[in-house]
Amino acid sequence: MFKIREYEPPLRVQITIKNLFIFMAYFLTLTFFLAIAYYPEKYQFFSEHISNLGRIESVLGSSNTTSMIVIMVGFGLCATLFLTVAILYFLNRNLYMWHVKGVLSLITTFGIACDAIPSDHPKLKILHIIGASSFIGGFAAFNAFVQISSLVKKKKDKQKEISKADTIWDIFFSIVVIALLIGYFVLFALDASNIDISLIDPIFQKVIIFAEILALYLIDNIDI
């Protein structure tokens, strides 16, 4: 990130995948703020889950049709973009660790698609719960794997021309995404144990999603 690298340039498909992630970041951010704008009551950013924006009815019982449609369309577009990423990995087997990245992309795609289902749907609520876990967990796992595999590949290839600052940057983001992934599973375990995490879960959910988006946005094309 700090200088133009001198080793083998990224393949066109890697640049395409990076651009798809950038588009997804824009769509996801736009979807979030549009859904807040059309939410029928004031959205409590620090105490409400993102899922509340996609409910059939708001927490207080108001009709939430517009915001729900925004979430469904936005998440649907993001799922399509991530599915495209998965397909590109499976079609380009010369990419480093393509199979693991492809599978994690599919898990994230499934999660985003199911997360678009309203959390208060009488019959499909379970799919939303599974989707939300698959989306956040899969996205964090994908990002962590991309960061770690990038470091491993550089060490394996003995790329001496990489600057010390660049290496520190990569290690820093690897630690961040791994910490977020561990934090997510810790909260998941606490929730499964019926321990109240309502004070930290909503904000941590937003932190992990947007931090993961930022990490993918900043990663170099060659590392995809």
Identity of the residue numbered 24: M
Q: pLDDT band for 116, please (50, 70, 90 cuts).
A: very high
More confident residue, 172 or 62: 62
Give the rounded distance of the alpha carbon of 50 from its chain centre: 13
CA distance 29 to 44: 17
**Which pTM value belongs to this model?**
0.83
Extents of the domains making up the chain: 12-223
Give the rounded distance of the alpha carbon of 139 from its chain centre: 4
Q: Is the pLDDT of residue 153 over 80?
A: no
Strand residue runs (E) in 145-203: none
Return the top range by mean pLDDT from 10-14, 20-24, 66-70, 127-131.
66-70
Q: pLDDT band for 7, please (50, 70, 90 cuts).
A: very low
Give the rounded distance of the alpha carbon of 31 from its chain centre: 14
What confidence score (pLDDT) does residue 3 get? 44
What confidence tens digit (pLDDT) does each residue in 188-210 have? 777 667 777 677 778 888 888 88
CA distance 152 to 150: 5
What confidence tens digit (pLDDT) does each residue in 38-89 have? 999 999 888 888 889 999 999 888 999 999 999 999 999 999 999 999 999 9
Residue 54 tokens read as 């996609």
Side-chain-side CA neighbours of 113 within 13 Å: the count stands at: 11
**Residues contacting 189, CB < 8 A, separation 6+:** none
Q: Is the pLDDT of residue 109 over 90?
A: yes
Give the rounded distance of the alpha carbon of 158 from its chain centre: 30
Angle between helices 65-91 and 12-38 (to 10 degrees): 170
Closest CA to 1 of 214, 223, 220, 213: 220
Strand residue runs (E) in 11-137: none
CA distance 162 to 24: 29
